[in-house]
Amino acid sequence: MRRPFVQGMLDGVPIALGYLSVSFGFGILAVRLGLPVLAAVGISFTNLTSAGQAAGVEIIAAAGTLLEMALTQFVINLRYALMGFSLSQKLDATFTTPRRLLVSFGITDEIYAVAISQPGLLTATYMMGLIVTPVLGWSLGTFLGAAAGELLPTAVSNAMGLVLYGMFIAIIIPPARKDRRVLFVVALAAACSVVFRYLLPMVSGGFAVILSALAASLAGAWLFPIEEEAMT
Amino acid sequence: MTLFAYIAVMAVVTYLVRMLPFTLFRRQIRSRFIRGLLYYLPYAVLSAMTIPAIFYATGNVVTATVGTLVALMLAYFRLPLIVVALAAACSALLTGFLL
Mutate to test the interface with B, among A86, A108, A164, A165 (most CBs of B within 10 A): A165
C-alpha span between A58 and A49 (Å, rounded): 14
Write the DSSP string, B7-39.
HHHHHHHHHHHHHHHHHH--SPP--HHHHHHHH
3-state secondary structure of A91: strand
Nearest-angstrom CA–CA distance, A165 and B71: 9
Closest residue to B28, CB basis, from A21, A80, A89: A89
Of A56, A194, A218, the CB nearest to B52: A194
- On whether any CB of chain A is under 8 Å from the CB of B69, the answer is no
Model confidence pLDDT, tens digit, residues A147-205: 987 788 888 878 887 887 888 898 899 999 999 999 999 999 999 999 999 999 887 76
Domain boundaries, chain A: 4-163, 179-227
The reply to whether residue B41 touches residue A217, judged by beta carbons under 8 angstroms, is yes
The reply to whether residue B75 touches residue A35, judged by beta carbons under 8 angstroms, is: no
B62 touches chain A (CB under 8 A): no
Question: pLDDT tens across A119-136, in order?
Answer: 889 999 999 999 999 999
Map A118-158 to HEC letters.
CCCCECHHHHHHHHHHHHHHHHHHHHHHHHHHHHCCHHHHH
- The residues that bridge with A91 in the sheet, in sequence order, are A122
Contact between residue A19 and residue A134 where contact means Cβ atoms under 8 Å apart? yes
Q: CB distance A213–B60 less than 8 Å? A: no
For chain B, which residues make up each domain, given as ranges? Answer: 3-98
Residue of A nearest to B95 (CA): A159
Query: Which of B25, B33, B38, B61 to substitute to test the interface with A, most A CBs within 10 Å?
Result: B38
Confidence of residue A223 (pLDDT cuts 50, 70, 90): very high
Q: In this structure, what DSSP letter does residue A197 have?
A: H
pLDDT by residue (tens digit) across A70-113? 988 887 788 898 889 889 989 999 999 999 999 999 999 889 98
